[in-house]
Amino acid sequence: MSSTVRAQRKYIGLQPQKVRLIVDAVRGMRALDAINSLGLMPQAAALEVKKTIQSAVANAEENESMAPEDMWVAQIFADEGPTVKRFRPGGRGRVKPLLRRSSHITVVLEER
């Protein structure tokens, strides 16, 4: 029987499409290896995903007394959050929509 721990970060001001590129890179890795590899990535989304995994590892250590060396990223996904709709002036008196997208990151760690 393997234990699972979950952590979530909501309303991150990054597009889910860009966060999913980072999330796909660390899916299935050991938790500590994922944290180390995310620290070397230049993308802004890597920092947010790293914080989420670190939070899940801390939850596992504190609440479930699990060892961080045995933790694996069982599930990780980025969902779409609310979109703020603004408008900018365009040419010939028109209006151009400006969509500020946000995302929610969910991490599920599993002990093996």
Give the model confidence (pLDDT) of 62-83 as tens digits: 999 999 999 999 999 999 999 9
**Cα–Cα distance, 93 to 29 (Å, whole number):** 52
Find how far residue 4's CA is from the centre of its chain: 17
Average of pLDDT values for 92-96?
Answer: 97
Mean pLDDT of all residues in 14-36? 97
Q: Which of 1-10, 60-69, 70-79, 83-92 is the least confident region?
A: 1-10
Mean pLDDT of 81-103: 97
Indicate the helix (H) or strand (E) that contains 3.
Answer: none
Averaged over 46-66, what is the pLDDT? 96
Can you say whether residue 92 is alpha, beta or left, with left for phi > 0 and alpha for psi between -120 and 50 degrees? left
Domains, the chain, ordered by start: 4-111 (3.90.470.10)
